[in-house]
Structure 1
């Protein structure tokens, strides 16, 4: 009970807080999967991304790719065009890196068995880098992740290092990965929906049974009370003649 109560509290707090992402809302490509997870009593999402193509500009003397040391030159959650990437690359003043990042979901699970089910769904859908972590406070987080990433440096200290032909090739490769990424999201959604159908069917069946049992019970009870009343009324309304006949029968038996 305590664990379930804590989970419900965490879920309510997470879903009620403001979206802290750069976009400020759930990506359209993964919104249906996020909605399905959050509608289940066993899960809720703590963060999500449908996948993206980005061009970031790192500080030249920074060896680690960190958000605080990077400026975002271009980003899209759909397929990109070479013209847009090339135009963004011209604004680079540091070390520009072109990246494709596949879909990622972080999902908090009620129980470890729920995390195992979700992990199986993710692996079977192509998200083979997925994993489960358990925090000190008992929070069970399932990360739905894939491995088909792409990361290529394109400039150094503002000087472009590649040709337009290579940029065109790179954009094509990223778009192919985005297409495969969206297919995996659909597989994940369909597999998850199939896995949660027994839970939804049981809930629906219990609701229907509760709705049907009450009228049946009332009708039976009503008939029972009516039959009892009719029986009592029949006894009270027996004529004296009938009672005399009964008495005569009794007397005859003992004659």
Structure 2
């Protein structure tokens, strides 16, 4: 596909994405863009060669897995069990019991000094009780776990060219989003900006649907420790988001190469100079081999 066609396709997709954003359309369960990531989105969407396609600024959640397909069910029963959870626990009545995209856990820990109030908040009003010791040996593939999770920022950016995608990737990695990468490198590449090093997922109980009770693996003090740990992750996540914004801003201010930081540009210029020197040296050697009596100038070049 020609570069002009790629540019037209990118501009068309960008127009549609920005149109949906301006109308307030958002396909996420939350239904709106996370406010902490808006500055980065606006920065990228103002650049002619980039547009954001999906985003999450990071979140803390307590997630209840959905109903799982029974491993002992017959083939005909499994075919009927259509409303079941995926491998990640979504579907089949899987749902968030608690979720926040802001670092509210410190406030919740202060306000919910009573253990019952704290448990009621994080488990979405579902009653809980300590799990019996013998329960651990009775867990099966159909067990519905309750997870205490922290998921860091993730951002997908559609780019016009692979060159812009590579420069954006450099910015992401230099801002500690080390698991970032380029997906769909053909046509208009998409850059996935992410860091899995901050991710946190701890099973904290199982759900008993018959009693509508969560049987906890941890007591309230242990759950409060998890809440503090996720709060620490949230603060580091915010620091990395701020770092990414500053890196992108610096890169986009460079007039020669958009989305290229000064440090990256210095490395590129040095590499280009070394490559140019190698090519020049190779050319001179070739000329000497062609006609050593002409001081490095070949006969063909002298005629021309």
Is the shorter-chain TM-score for this pair beyond 0.5, marking a shared fold? yes
Partners of 1:120 and 1:92 in 2: CA distance: 47
**1:31 corresponding residue in structure 2:** 38
Partners of 1:201 and 1:64 in 2: CA distance: 43
Partners of 1:192 and 1:107 in 2: CA distance: 13
The Cα of 1:91 is off from its aligned counterpart by 1.1
SS in 2 for 1:154: strand
- For structure 2, the 5+ residue unaligned runs are 69-84, 129-143, 208-213, 259-304
Whether contact under 8 Å (2:17, 2:53) holds in the other structure is yes
SS in 1 for 2:97: strand
Whether contact under 8 Å (1:60, 1:95) holds in the other structure is no
Rg (Cα) greater in structure: 1
Whether contact under 8 Å (2:183, 2:190) holds in the other structure is yes
Are 1:73 and 2:97 matched, yes or no? yes
Are 1:100 and 2:123 matched, yes or no? no
The Cα of 1:125 is off from its aligned counterpart by 0.4
Alignment TM-score, normalising by the size of structure 2 = 0.62
The Cα of 1:85 is off from its aligned counterpart by 5.8
Q: Which has the higher helix share?
A: 1
1:187 to 221, 226, 243: 243
Cα 1:122/1:201, change in 2 over 3 Å: closer
Partners of 1:200 and 1:40 in 2: CA distance: 14
The Cα of 1:74 is off from its aligned counterpart by 0.6
Partners of 2:12 and 2:86 in 1: CA distance: 40
1:166 to 190, 204, 222: 222
Aligned CA RMSD, in angstroms, stands at: 2.2
Q: Deviations over 1:166-186 (max 9, x none)?
A: 111100100000000000000
Cα 1:143/1:53, change in 2 over 3 Å: same
Q: Deviations over 1:91-125 (max 9, x none)?
A: 17942111100000000011101011110000010
SS in 2 for 1:64: coil
**1:250 corresponding residue in structure 2:** none
Partners of 1:36 and 1:139 in 2: CA distance: 19
Alignment TM-score, normalising by the size of structure 1 = 0.73
The Cα of 1:86 is off from its aligned counterpart by 2.1
- For structure 1, the 5+ residue unaligned runs are 203-255
**1:139 corresponding residue in structure 2:** 188
Cα 1:199/1:95, change in 2 over 3 Å: same
